[in-house]
Amino acid sequence: MVTVKEKTTVTQRIRGNCPTHSRTEISVRDVKTVVDEPKEREGTNMGPTPTETMVAALIACTNVITHKCAKKHGVELKAMTVDAESTFDRRGAQLLEEIEVPFPKIRLVINVTTEAREADVEKIKADLHRFCPVSKVIRNSGTQVEEVWNVTRP
């Protein structure tokens, strides 16, 4: 039997085409998306802003890693939503002054529906902190990430 060893480190290649000062058309793998500014900031409002995209990436990574952790612990998540509220110091983006931690705080409200015991949910929470790469980058930049978990049992 042949054993295939999965790569642990990969190189990601993402391309950005910049047709205007505010719109960036992102190509990654066979997927395209748009990052843009709203019309009030002279954008075309065809997608979320770069900073909204970063917070959205945190939500998406929280979803993926939470589900992986649940599977690892034999837990079925019947439903999940994640809401984020971030404090964004825009002075850097406005070129007013350099800001070391542009996002001092991000609050995630993680709502899950599961029949799992509380001890198993606690394992998932702990593993999320250990393994979510987007959360690690954001936390290590100095941002306080607060998680509020609401667990509903059917």
pLDDT in tens, 8-64: 999 999 999 999 999 999 999 999 999 999 999 999 999 999 999 999 999 999 999
Task: State whether 43 and 57 are in the same domain.
Answer: no
Domain membership flag for residue 5:
no
CA distance 111 to 102: 26
CATH code where residue 57 lies = 3.30.300.20
Q: Which residue has the tokens 């110091």?
A: 89
Residue 89 has pLDDT above 80, yes or no: yes
Task: State whether 62 and 124 are in the same domain.
Answer: yes
Q: For the chain, list the strands marked E by DSSP.
A: 14-17, 24-28, 31-35, 77-87, 105-114, 144-152
Task: State whether 40 and 57 are in the same domain.
Answer: no
Classify residue 52 by its DSSP letter: H
Whole domain around residue 33: which residue ranges? 14-47
pLDDT at res. 6: 84
Residue 1 has pLDDT above 80, yes or no: no
Task: State whether 29 and 74 are in the same domain.
Answer: no
Task: State whether 131 and 105 are in the same domain.
Answer: yes
Going across the sheet that includes 31-35, the strands are 14-17, 24-28, 31-35
Which tens digits make up the pLDDT trace of 93-139?
A: 999 999 999 999 999 999 999 999 999 999 999 999 999 999 999 99
